[in-house]
Homo-oligomer: A and B are copies of this chain.
Amino acid sequence: MEEAINRPEVEVVCISLPNNLHEEAVNLCCKHKKAVMTTKPLARNAEEAKRMLLAVEKAGIFNGYLEDLVYTPKFIKAHESVKNGALGRILWAKSRETHPGPHSDWFWDIEQAGGGCMLDLGCHCVEITRSYIGKDIKPIEVMCWADTQVKPIDAEDHAIGLIKYENGAIAQFEVSWTFRGGLDLRDEVMGTEGTIWINSFLRTGFEMFTTGKAANYVAEKAESDKGWLFPVGDELNELGYNHMFMDMFNSMEKELNQKKLSMMVM
């Protein structure tokens, strides 16, 4: 890994390795003074994350955390409405990510993954809900149910949690690897003057019925390819990747005062 990172033409490293290798990769970027971006979750636990943050700050390198779901076009527009007061005082923010289970085997190994669906999916939900409530408002109490209902793993495959903030607002997350029916990504925000409902994947205005004569790719984690299907037009855009990387590169170019960058994804 060090050899790859240290190649002179590499200026930016984008880490999308299994969770247990994030810290090591970040440390190598620090050592070789390469700009670094890490996919979610940042680390396997708070201690690891804290050490990584201190390391990049000490090294003085550009660093970014790639939390895509606060960069979806719908989230960005909804967040703006919330900040402008369209919903009044925010009382309740919910975020849900459930699907039939992760795409790689290492997720099932708690040593590599660091946890279950709460770490894998909850990191999105917590970031989304606290963004609606206000990132300067402190959480003061957390209540959570988690269980391993279906999958043959040590970690939880289903969890529901409530986070109480100091201003009285409540955040709620629902995460599961046991959901049948596709990738269910929904957010809801409730305030004294209104509400916002976002469906980012399973119901986006695109519906197809097919007898299955020709098998087609439908969408990430879609579980069927006949009957009624719900494709997503532009998945990368709907999932926030375009806006996330745009923002990341804009920040980096601004900080580094340069226009063109060579990135390595690992």
Contact = CB atoms under 8 A, between A and B. Distances in A.
Interface in A33-83: 72-78, 80-81
Contacts of A98: 190
A73 B193 contact: no
Nearest to A84: B214
A112 interface: no
Given A224-B228, A228-B224, A194 B168 contact: no
Given A145-B143, A233-B72, A213 B193 contact: yes
Does more than half of chain A's interface fall in helix, strand or loop, or is it mixed? mixed
Copies of this protein chain in the complex: 4
A181 B92 contact: no
A74 B206 CA distance: 7
Contact of A200 (B158, B199, B205, B232): B205
A170 interface: yes
A74 B233 contact: yes
Nearest to A150: B192
A81 B228 contact: no
A180 interface: yes
A224 B228 CA distance: 8
A85 B198 CA distance: 30
Contacts of A81: 208, 210, 214, 216, 231
User: What are the 9 closest A-B residue pairs judged by CB atoms, nearest first?
Assistant: A73-B233, A227-B227, A73-B234, A181-B209, A194-B210, A85-B214, A74-B233, A199-B205, A224-B227
